[in-house]
A and B are shown apart, each in its own frame.
Chain A
Amino acid sequence: GNSVTQMEGPVTLSEEAFLTINCTYTATGYPSLFWYVQYPGEGLQLLLKATKADDKGSNKGFEATYRKETTSFHLEKGSVQVSDSAVYFCALSDKDTGRRALTFGSGTRLQVQP
């Protein structure tokens, strides 16, 4: 079955530091890949996505590249801000099944200190 593995948190960084959150996946076929962000007390917001190999998703300074050869979709940001503190979820959607529900990683909590 499908699965997503992402690095455990919490990840604690100082403002303006470089961020990497690792994400690898196991899936049949060629899934679509997503990063979602969850701020305290809220639902999930789509941060970025990639639908095929070598696609790069980007939004609000965050980037992730779909690497089929390493089955990875690592999230990066060059300079984090305190407002980036949240929980980040890597997810995949299997395009080969009709329901196309998301399979999530376990989430990584990011804490950015001023």
Chain B
Amino acid sequence: EADIYQTPRYLVIGTGKKITLECSQTMGHDKMYWYQQDPGMELHLIHYSYGVNSTEKGDLSSESTVSRIRTEHFPLTLESARPSHTSQYLCASRSGYNEQFFGPGTRLTVL
């Protein structure tokens, strides 16, 4: 079944740790996105990718980085997590019909 997956679903870590949030999709979509959802529910684009080896920063400045080595995989990395990074991170991919499909999200808490 075509889908989009995110792991872990929940992560609690200490300040200064390096973390990678995984995102994979089995739909063959070229365009993928990372959104950050703050506790007030607002969603902001932090990264996007047109395809393999193509990544761009989004509208909201983020200290995270992304990579796109394979079409299906779009991981997000924080080199040194801080409490200000506490948020929910949502990964999405876009079909040719301009619909975005979202993963279940990773809820990150940095202590």
A-side interface residues toward B, CB under 8 Å?
A: 32, 34, 36, 41-46, 49, 51, 87, 89, 93, 95, 98-102, 104, 106-107, 109
Question: Interface of chain B, helix or strand or loop or mixed?
Answer: strand
Question: Interface of chain A, helix or strand or loop or mixed?
Answer: strand
Interface residues on B, range: 20 to 34
- Closest chain-B Cβ to A98's Cβ sits at a distance in Å of 7
Give me the 4 closest cross-chain CB pairs, A-B, nearest first.
A43-B102, A107-B41, A44-B102, A104-B43
Q: Is the CB of B40 within 8 A of A101?
A: no
Tell me the nearest residue of chain B to A98, going by C-beta. B50
Contacts of A44 in B (CB 8 A): 43, 90, 92, 102
Given A89-B43, A99-B48, A101-B58: A42 and B100 interface contact (C-beta under 8 Å): no
Query: Which residues from 1 to 51 on chain B have a C-beta closer than 8 Å to any C-beta of chain A?
Result: 6, 31, 33, 35, 40-43, 45, 48, 50
- Closest chain-B Cβ to A1's Cβ sits at a distance in Å of 9
Given A44-B90, A46-B99, A46-B100: A102 and B105 interface contact (C-beta under 8 Å): no
Q: Is the CB of A43 within 8 A of B43?
A: no
Alpha-carbon distance between A36 and B43 when the two chains are bound, in angstroms: 12
B98 within 8 A of A: yes
Alpha-carbon distance between A93 and B90 when the two chains are bound, in angstroms: 17
- Closest chain-A Cβ to B96's Cβ sits at a distance in Å of 11
- Closest chain-A Cβ to B98's Cβ sits at a distance in Å of 5
Contacts of A106 in B (CB 8 A): 40-42
B103 within 8 A of A: yes
> Could you give 27 example pairs across A and B, Cβ below 8 Å?
A34-B99, A34-B100, A42-B104, A42-B105, A43-B103, A43-B105, A44-B102, A45-B102, A46-B99, A46-B100, A46-B101, A51-B98, A87-B41, A93-B100, A95-B98, A99-B48, A99-B56, A100-B31, A102-B43, A102-B45, A102-B92, A104-B43, A106-B41, A107-B41, A107-B42, A107-B43, A109-B41
